[in-house]
Structure 1
Amino acid sequence: MENEKSRAMGRAYVIEGILFFTYAFFAVNWIAGSTLTAEIAKFFGVDSAASSSFVSNAVTIAKIIGNFLAAGILNKLLPKKSIAIGGGLIFVGSLLAVFSNSYLMFILGRFVMGFGGAVFVIYFAPVVIHYFTDEQKPTINALNSVAYNFGAVLALLIVKPVIEIMKTWQKSMGFFTAISGLLFIFWSIFGEDFELNKTGTNEEKINYTISDTLKDKVTWLLPFSYSGVLILYLTLLQLFPRIEGAAITTSKLSALTGIGGIIGTLFAIVLSKNTIRENLSLLFVVLL
């Protein structure tokens, strides 16, 4: 019995690792493309500022569409195929961008990649709910939330050396595309399906509709709470560095944000083990 539990938990951590690094390298690949914007724009003969804006808009639209469609895909195809679609789109979009022969195709590749990332990130939650205990869930959820930030810090360390070795933007982005492809293969091997919407000791299936979701105050509270932070993040990364005479580059801002996110996540993991009263007391001490 203990051996079965150990094997099951080992598989859970393998699956969690594949998901975490797939999304982290999505971030690395995305930041690599942003770092190479000037070279890519020159290759296609377009303005670099316009290039950055078009790609940013493309991924924003992709994320909106992807987030709305993700739940429907999951309910119809179950986790293994759904996660494979997200990871596959990240890989295919990256591949399309690398081998594009026009700027329009490059934007399409980034759109597909962004769509895959938006779909993929939604599937962290059901995996955590299924594989991990109530005591483990806060820690695993916190780690998943920082996957992109981890990728941003990793990008700071490896993107520049890879570009120097590979020389061209196609080979540089192709290197990270290959890693995404490898992680997609790993998921195809180790990923598995499980039933959704089950709860309780008798594993009774519950029916939670979109109407129920819209009536839940948490559905509205969390996005509005997070929107302020996201607006600040996008402003820092997209607008501030373009101001003439800006004191810091986009890459440094991204790295600082990523490091701050990792530190905040570690802090949140510690707080998750405390009671609300203990957390408020600690916050009061910090503020003082």
Structure 2
Amino acid sequence: MAQNVQKKQSSRGMLMLVILWLAYVLFAMNWVTGSTLTPEIIKAFFKGPVSPLTMQVVNYSITLARVFANFLAAFILIKLGPKHAVTTALVLLMFSIIAVWIPNYWGYTVARMIMTLGGSMIIVYMNPVVARYVRTDRKIIANALNTVSYNFGAFVVALAFLFAGKFLRFDWQITLTVLASVSILYLLIWQLEAVNFNTKQDVDVGAHEEVHYGYRDAIRDPFVWHYSLGFGGFLFLYVLSITSLPSLFATYAPRVNGSLIELMVTGFGILGTVVGTMIGLTNHARKPILFWTGVLMILGSAATLIFAAKAPSLAYVAAGATGFIMFIMYPLYMNLPHEMPDMSPEKLTIIFGMFWAISYFVYTILNIIWSVILGNLGWTAAGEFWIFGSLLYLVFVLQLPETKPHELPKSMIKPV
């Protein structure tokens, strides 16, 4: 009898995780579609040309909203419980529908920011569900699927614009409305199927042991800062490659198809996730893999820019290789907190709330500087800054603890 109850709870937990995964894929599709349709959106709201800074203001507002959303995510979870916290996030995600029909660019931007509050909370809430319902030896698989969710959404959008770009661009409001409306379905399913659970229990230690860890602990935790600042550098490298850069190739490197570059990064990224997950199921040391894949993905990004102007076919190859390498490290990186001792769903929520907030703040600052450089110094200088800013990832990966220390010489091990 108890076994049947446990199996039923596990099935319910998996369904909750699937809904969260699909909701975050939808958020990613909304974000990337909006970025891809930026020329059409700007044309609808402005009569003449605008600066790169104005063109990117929606992306800035989205990333800034993610900063605030992730700080709030754990607080809302603690106050409302997992079911109602996610309900709140899904309601906020539905503002993507409202945004499309606001007849003002700045109102549109604010509504997209509210949409982002919901999407950002959803990625944070995946972690307590994984901690509660997924076995320790399978957490890397669940986290790999979660990490690839954004990439999967971006891949679908890239594929759609590659083969049906004219149709999707014909009326940007209809395109975004149809896409955003799916969020209503996810909200209904969540209300019917989701359940609450205790987020304080350390599921790996025992049902009666509670882990006490608050925002004050997170702020004083060196791991949180090293983990977050490093990822900010990665986000700068990755997000620009599938949002801002593809739409700019038409102006600065017209021989290259930006949608195909995006498709190569995201498509091969899915394959890279499979490899990264397979490595994560072993006891191989994490830090060397995280560092050297970081070196290769930065070199691959630089090669993509260089070849874009001179040899488009090589640019596509470089973009595919970069996406593949990026997503070898991504699931390993995102699973690090789950591999550390004394983790509860609530502690993971606080850590990942801080993590996403800090990393997106870093990304936003770097992105704004990049746009200013692009507008004032040109494409080449902006490209050089893009590569330079992403080096932040390598600096802080070296500061992270090794979660599989028995695979390393003692001289390379940092205390957890």
Structure 1 residues 162 and 174, CA gap change in structure 2 (3 angstroms): farther
Among residues 140, 143, 146, which one is paired with 2:145 in the alignment? 143
In 1, the alpha carbon distance for the partners of 2:258 and 2:187 equals 29
Deviations 1:174-201 (A, max 9, x none): 1111112211211111111111111232
2:35–2:59 CA contact under 8 A, matched in 1 = no
Deviations 1:41-94 (A, max 9, x none): 2222254655531111111211111111111111111111111111211112x1
Give the match for residue 124 of structure 1: 126
Identical columns (%): 29
Deviations 1:228-281 (A, max 9, x none): 222222443425753622553443333222223322221121112211259979
Q: Which residue in the other structure is 2:59 paired with?
A: 56
- Structure 1 alignment gaps of length 5 or more: none
Q: Structure 2 matches for 1:79-158, cutoff 5 A?
A: 79-92=82-95, 94-158=96-160
Cα distance in structure 2, aligned partners of 1:181 and 1:162: 25
* Match runs of 1:106-255 below 5 Å: 106-158=108-160, 161=164, 164=167, 167-199=170-202, 200-236=205-241, 237-239=243-245, 242=248, 244-245=252-253, 247-255=255-263
1:13 is the counterpart of 2:14: yes
SS of residue matched to 2:176: helix
Query: Structure 2: any 5+ residue segments left out of the alignment?
Result: 297-416
Distance 2:288 2:72 in 1: 37
Deviates more, 1:55-64 or 1:156-165: 156-165
Instruction: Provide closer, same or farther for how the CA distance between residues 279 and 76 of structure 1 changes in structure 2, counting only shifts above 3 A.
Output: closer
Q: Which moved more, 1:250-259 or 1:115-124?
A: 250-259
Q: What are the Cα deviations for residues 103-150 of structure 1, in whole angstroms up to 9, with x where unaligned? A: 222111211112221222111111100111112211101110111001
Partner of 2:40: 39
Letter in 2 for 1:123: Y
Q: CA RMSD in A?
A: 2.7
Give secondary structure in 2 for the equivalent of 1:118.
helix
Pick from 70, 73, 78: which aligns with 1:70? 73
- Contact kept, 8 Å, 1:96 with 1:105, in 2: the verdict is no
TM, length-normalised to structure 1:
0.87
**CA distance in structure 1 between the aligned counterparts of 2:217 and 2:260, rounded to whole angstroms:** 42
TM-score (norm 2): 0.62
Other-structure match for 2:326: none
Q: More deviation in 169-178 or 29-38? A: 29-38
Which amino acid in the other structure matches residue 59 of structure 1?
Answer: I
CA distance, structure 1, for counterparts of residue 45 and residue 247 of structure 2: 23
The residue type equivalent to 1:83 in the other structure is V
- Residue 206 of structure 1 aligns to a residue whose secondary structure is coil
Measured at CA, do residues 221 and 264 of structure 1 come closer, stay the same or move farther in structure 2, by a change above 3 Å? farther
CA distance in 2: counterparts of 1:29 and 1:117, whole angstroms:
10
Count of residue pairs the alignment pairs up: 283
Cα deviation for residue 3 of structure 1 reads: 3.3
- Separation in structure 2 between the aligned mates of residue 142 and residue 188 of structure 1, nearest angstrom: 26
- Residue aligned with 2:136, SS: coil
Tell me which of 273, 277, 281 is aligned to 1:269. Answer: 277
Letter paired with 2:118: G
- Does structure 2 retain, via aligned residues, the 8 Å contact 1:240–1:246? no
| CA shift in 2, pair 1:24/1:231, >3 Å | same
1:197–1:208 contact (8 Å) kept in structure 2: no
- Alignment correspondent of 1:28: 29
